[in-house]
Each structure stands twice: as C-alpha cells, then as structure tokens.
C-alpha cells in the first residue's frame, strides 16, 4: 500500500462511521488524513492542531459531559489520523515507532489520540490478537506482522495506566486494551477506573474478561470501604458474580444508562 | 470580575491557591516557562518541565475550573549555561502544541552575549510559529535592559503588537508603550509594583495595552494580586468595564493572537464539588463532573 497511497476520496470513504456529524464534515480532517497518506510525517503537526480545528466537545455529552468515558471529538479526529497513518506505512515496526514518538512527545490529549487510534486499529482487525480471526489483519495496512505495534501499544497503555488522569486511564481500556492487555494489568486498570469514579462503560469487553480474581478484588475493595464507613461505589457490583453481600450498595447513584 | 492571570507559575502553588483564584473570578491563566530556583543541568530537565506545564499542570488547573495555558522558551538566566542551551532544538516542536499561547519568558537577565543570541533565536522561532512573545525585563539595570529589549524586537521584524514586555514600572512604561508593545505589570507584595502604584499608572496611561499579572511563583508573592488590583481600580473610580478590559479583555486580545486560547468553562466542573474524585467517594461513583 506504500506504493499506492489512497486518494483523498478513498480516505474519506474510510472515516469511521461512528464519528460525530460535525467531525465527519470536517474539511480540515479530510485534508489532514489525505496529507498523512501522502506524507506520514505530517501527522505530528496534525496531531498538535486537531483540537483547534475540530473542537474539544465530548462525544456523548448527555452521559459523559467531560468526555472522559467515551472521549472527545478531537480524540476521534486523532484516532482517524492514526488509522490513516497505518494505511500509509503499514502496521509494522515503522508505525510502532511513529506512534511511540507521537505519544511520548504528545500532551494528554495527543496521548489519548494515540490510544484511541490503537482502539480503531484493533476494532477493524488490523492488529490480530487473541480475539481476532487468524487472517483478519490481511485486509488492512500492508498485512505485515503487527507484533511490534501491539508491543508498542502495550507499553503506551502501561504508561497511561500509571497516570492519575482519568481520561488516559479510560482510553487505555478500550478495544485495544480489552484485546491485548494481560489479565493482571487489565484487572488493575478496571479497579483504577472505579477508584477514579470513571464509569465502567469506559471498559470494552468487561463481561468477557471479568474473572474470579477481579470478583475477589472488587469484594475486598467493597469490604475495605465498608469497614471505613465509606460508601461503596455502585460500579463494583458490575465486577462480581452475584450481589456484594454485607455491603451498603445503593449509597451512591447508579450508573446512567444510555 | 472575570480574570485571566497572564503570568503565574502555578507549578509552585497549592490547590488552595487554585480554589481561592476561582472564587475570586480567575477563569484562565498563562504559565510562562521560567527557571525553577534550582538550576537545571540538562535538556531533559527542561523537556520534563515543559511536558509538565502542558500536561499535569493543565490537568490540575482543570480540576479547579481554571483553563491553563503556557508559554514555552529557554529563559534568559539559563541561556548562559551551555548545558541548557541545547534545549533550543526542542523548543519549536513545543510551540506547535495545544495551549501554547506565546514564546516566553525570553529577554535579558545579565545582558550577556549568550543571552543576546538565545533571545534573537527565540524571536525568530516566534515568527516561524506565528506566536506572540512574552518578554521578561531584567531585575537589575532595568531601564537599559528594556531599551535593549525593544531594539532587539525591532531588529527581529516582529510586529510590536505581538510583544508583551513584562515586569515594568514607572521608569520604563513609556518606552514600551511608545514602541507599540503591550505593557505588563507584575503586582508583588513588596517589590516590583503594588496595587496603588498600578492604579496611578492606569490613570496616567489609560487602559489600552495595559496588562496586570500576579507573577506568583515559589517566592513571596500573591496569586490574588490581579483581583486586588481590580478592587483598587474600582475604589479609585474606574468602571467595571475598565477593570474588565485590564484583567480580561487585554490579556485575551494579546494571547488570542496565538489562536490557541481556550476560554469556555471546563466541562463538567462544578464549583464546590470535590476536585479529586478517587480520593473521596462522595456523590456519584460513575461520572466525573456529573454529580448533582
């Protein structure tokens, strides 16, 4: 695909169709994605300017006014740029190196953009992985081995999970994290969301990956809260098989449903 | 009273300060990169600091409903250390970043040849990045330093309206205004400039192109000096509109030339709500900012 890069019209056709309408209509984003297809280095500048061009609005303002759980419009724009980058340079080590540089040299929003870009690549099957079909990666990028990209993504997700910024933690447990984080790291990420009062709706594949150990961790946390006479976060109930016995559930409002 | 503090080093301040500032009407700040007291010895110390200004500090400010911006530069004091000068190669990529509203603080400390070179180089970076410039004037030999500053700015070809010359006093304000640049005043507890002297300067020179900041940092300083200056102006008979011009519209117009100011309210922020969920589980467990 490096030898035959897509025209702007083809790029437009690949914009993820769950983008907000104001973003789907962004001429700036269309141009920036076409430019990344022609000159992958241009993504650095586009990443820096994305929010100034498409805005910073939350994607689901009704339930997520701060854009932490489901991200912001600029997150989505940067994710689309990452997809264009992978189309241009493939999903091999070159892409990995570029995403690491974008993340390391990026501010928090740019870092979210990289993580949500990895989500977009994971969702369309470009990265392989345990939950994907064996040959799902062959229709995207160059069909190259994505193991270096996955390894880089895991390194970046680990960095995000070490921060105290809830928007970064939330962005690390999307489809990429659900598919590729090891079980121990994933469980701690989920518990950290609860600590940070971020809705577990941020976590992709929660029901598929929740296990007995996470159940135990959630119950221990609930017991700790109860012993301290403090409210037990309602979302903990989503992590356990059956009700949380002897805990004061319902002392906090329930998760808003969409 | 709505306030944009155009020069404050929040990295050195406490969360109590953020709360008091919000309660006083501060809704946005600009934090210039400067020196930290303890000298830096390597480029990575700078890049970690710049990243902190654009990352952690912006995040921290948002928890208190305040929009945080930064100016990025190698400061004149550390421009004299060859180990630090290497950071100039890193500055241009920071100037592209969201929330970077100027190059600064640049200017003179001891007026050495090294400071000359670094100042000129960063003025050129400002031209390339189409950003305004925040210029620090020296504590010692201030009048001569201000003259030299204005000469160097003129030589650079930067339009004067893109330049804010800071830490001014009675002796050098006319020089800066005559050059067409913005005049900045740091109101300190007992040095540089105080509220009453500031009121006298506004009475003499008017409210156009006059900018007031607290320059609060790790030294003896007061992050509420902006609002106190506004109160002193009101007490001296200035109108609410005059105060709004000096404390809000002027800094917004100056830094707005970057196209990179964000002034809408922090989404989801509720005054008085616990700012750091995850420490206290009061209210909703689910959505930050959505607690009623």
Q: What is the ipTM of this complex?
A: 0.78
Domain contains B265: no
CA distance B145 to chain A (A): 35
- Lowest-confidence pick of A56-60, A109-113, A243-247, B143-147: A243-247
Rounded distance between C-alpha atoms, residue A109 and residue A130, angstroms: 28
**Of A135 and B287, more confident:** A135
Number of domains chain B is built from = 1
Query: B8 to chain A, minimum CA–CA distance in Å?
Result: 20
- C-alpha B77/C-alpha B71 separation (Å) is 16
In a domain, B283, yes or no: no
User: Tell me, what's the pLDDT at A191?
Assistant: 93
Contact between A85 and A94 (Cβ < 8 Å): no
Is B38 among the domain residues?
yes
Lowest mean pLDDT among A184-193, A215-224, A245-254: A245-254
We report the CATH number of the domain holding residue B31 as 3.20.20.140
In a domain, B132, yes or no: yes
Is A67 within 8 Å of B289 (Cβ atoms)? no
Pick among A28, A161, A170, A197 to test the B interface (most B CBs inside 10 A): A197
In a domain, B39, yes or no: yes
pLDDT the model gives residue A258: 34
User: Residue B258's pLDDT is what?
Assistant: 97
Buried b (16+ CB within 10 A) or exposed e, B87-113: bbebbeebbbbbbbbbbbbbbbbebee
What is the span of the domain harbouring residue B140?
3-256
Residue B246 maps to a domain? yes
- Are the beta carbons of B286 and A196 separated by less than 8 Å? no
User: With an 8 Å Cβ cutoff, are A252 and B283 in contact?
Assistant: yes
Query: How far is residue B292's CA from residue B284's CA, in Å, rounded to a whole number?
Result: 8
Q: In terms of CA atoms, which chain B residue is nearest residue A51?
A: B98
What confidence score (pLDDT) does residue B237 get? 98
Chain B positions in Cβ-Cβ contact with residue A197 (cut-off 8 Å):
277-278, 281, 284-288
A135-149 core/surface letters (b: 16 or more CB in 10 A; e: else): eebeebbbebebebb
What percent of chain B is modeled with pLDDT above 90? 85
CA distance A125 to A120: 9
Q: Is the pLDDT of residue A25 over 90?
A: no
What is the distance in angstroms between the Cα of A128 and the nearest Cα belonging to chain B?
Answer: 32
pLDDT of residue A90: 96
Q: Kindly report which listed range (A162-176, A240-254, B169-183) carries the lowest average pLDDT score.
A: A240-254
Whole-angstrom distance, CA of residue B87 vs CA of residue A101: 18
Does the pLDDT value for residue A256 go beyond 60?
Answer: no
Q: What integer is the mean pLDDT of B207-226?
A: 96
Which of B268 and B1 is assigned the larger pLDDT? Answer: B1
Give the pLDDT score at A136: 43
Q: Does a structural domain hold residue B95? A: yes
Residues of chain B contacting A, Cβ within 8 Å? 51, 54-55, 58-59, 93, 96-99, 259-260, 262, 267-268, 277-278, 281-292
- C-beta atoms of A197 and B286 within 8 A: yes
Mean pLDDT across chain A: 84
**pLDDT score at B275:** 54
Under DSSP, the state recorded for B280 is B
**pLDDT band at residue A202, thresholds of 50, 70 and 90?**
very high
Identify the pLDDT of residue B283.
36
Which of A4-18, A55-69, A218-232 comes out lowest in average pLDDT? A4-18
B288 contacts A107? CB cut-off 8 A: no
pLDDT at B209 over 70: yes
Give this prediction's pTM: 0.82
Reported as half-sphere exposure (CB side, CA atoms, 13 A), residue B111 has a value of: 14
The SS3 assignment for B17 reads helix
Residues A169 and A192: beta-carbon distance below 8 Å: yes
Residue B290 lies in a domain: no
Closest CA of chain B from A221, distance in Å: 13
Q: What is the pLDDT of residues B122-168, one digit of tens each?
A: 999 999 999 999 999 988 888 999 999 999 999 999 999 999 999 99
For A153-187, how does the pLDDT look when each residue is reduced to its tens digit (9 = 90+)? Answer: 999 999 999 988 999 999 999 999 999 999 999 99
Q: How many inter-chain contacts (A to B, CB under 8 Å) are there?
A: 99
Asked if A69 has any chain B CB less than 8 Å from its own CB, the reply is yes
Q: Which of A48, A55, A56 is nearest to A102 (CA)?
A: A48
């Amino acid at each position: 695909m490096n030898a035959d890069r897509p025209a702007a019209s083809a790029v437009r056709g690949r914009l993820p169709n769950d983008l907000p309408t104001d973003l789907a209509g962004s001429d700036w984003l269309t141009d920036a994605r076409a430019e990344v297809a022609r000159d992958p280095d241009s993504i650095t500048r586009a990443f820096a300017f994305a929010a100034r061009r498409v805005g910073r609005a939350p994607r689901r303002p009704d339930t997520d006014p701060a854009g932490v759980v489901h991200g912001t419009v600029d997150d989505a724009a940067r994710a689309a740029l990452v997809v264009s980058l992978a189309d241009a340079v493939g999903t091999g080590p070159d892409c990995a190196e570029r995403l690491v540089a974008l993340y390391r040299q990026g501010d928090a929003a740019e870092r979210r953009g990289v993580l949500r870009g990895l989500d977009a690549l994971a969702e369309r099957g470009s990265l392989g992985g345990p939950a994907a079909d064996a040959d799902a990666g062959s229709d995207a990028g160059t069909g190259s081995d994505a193991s270096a990209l996955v390894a880089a993504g895991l390194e970046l997700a680990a960095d995000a999970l070490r921060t105290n910024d809830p928007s970064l933690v939330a962005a690390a447990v999307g489809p990429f994290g659900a598919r590729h984080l090891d079980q121990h790291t994933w469980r701690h990420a989920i518990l950290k969301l609860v600590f940070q009062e971020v809705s577990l709706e941020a976590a992709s594949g929660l029901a598929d990956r929740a296990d007995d150990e996470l159940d135990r961790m959630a119950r221990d946390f609930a017991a700790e809260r109860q012993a301290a006479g403090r409210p037990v976060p309602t979302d903990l109930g989503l992590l356990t098989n059956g009700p949380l016995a002897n805990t004061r559930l319902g002392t906090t409002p329930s998760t808003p449903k969409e | 009273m709505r306030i944009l503090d155009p020069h404050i080093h929040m990295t050195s301040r406490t969360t109590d300060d953020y709360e008091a500032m919000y309660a006083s009407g501060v809704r946005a700040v600009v934090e210039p990169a400067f020196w930290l007291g303890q000298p830096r010895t390597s480029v990575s110390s700078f890049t970690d600091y710049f990243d902190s200004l654009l990352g952690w500090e912006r995040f921290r400010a948002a928890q208190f409903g305040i929009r945080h911006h930064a100016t990025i530069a190698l400061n004149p004091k550390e421009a004299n250390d060859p180990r630090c000068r290497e950071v100039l190669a890193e500055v241009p990529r920071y100037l592209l970043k969201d929330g970077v509203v100027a190059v600064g603080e640049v200017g003179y400390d001891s007026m050495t040849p090294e400071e000359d070179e670094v100042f000129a180089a960063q003025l050129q970076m400002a031209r390339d990045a189409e950003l305004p410039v925040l210029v620090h004037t020296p504590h010692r030999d201030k009048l001569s330093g201000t003259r030299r500053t204005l000469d160097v700015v003129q030589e650079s070809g930067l339009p004067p309206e893109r330049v804010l010359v800071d830490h001014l006093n009675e002796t050098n304000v006319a020089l800066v205004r005559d050059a067409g640049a913005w005049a900045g005043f740091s109101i300190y507890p007992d040095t540089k400039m105080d509220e009453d002297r500031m009121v006298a300067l506004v009475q003499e020179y008017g409210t156009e192109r006059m900018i007031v900041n607290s320059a609060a940092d790790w030294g003896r300083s007061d992050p509420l000096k902006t609002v106190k200056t506004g109160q002193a102006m009101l007490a001296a008979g200035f109108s609410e509109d005059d105060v709004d011009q000096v404390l809000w519209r002027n800094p917004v117009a100056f830094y707005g030339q970057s196209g990179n100011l964000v002034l809408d309210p922090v989404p989801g922020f509720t005054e008085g709500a616990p700012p750091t969920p995850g420490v206290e589980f009061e209210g909703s467990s689910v959505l930050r900012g959505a607690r009623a």
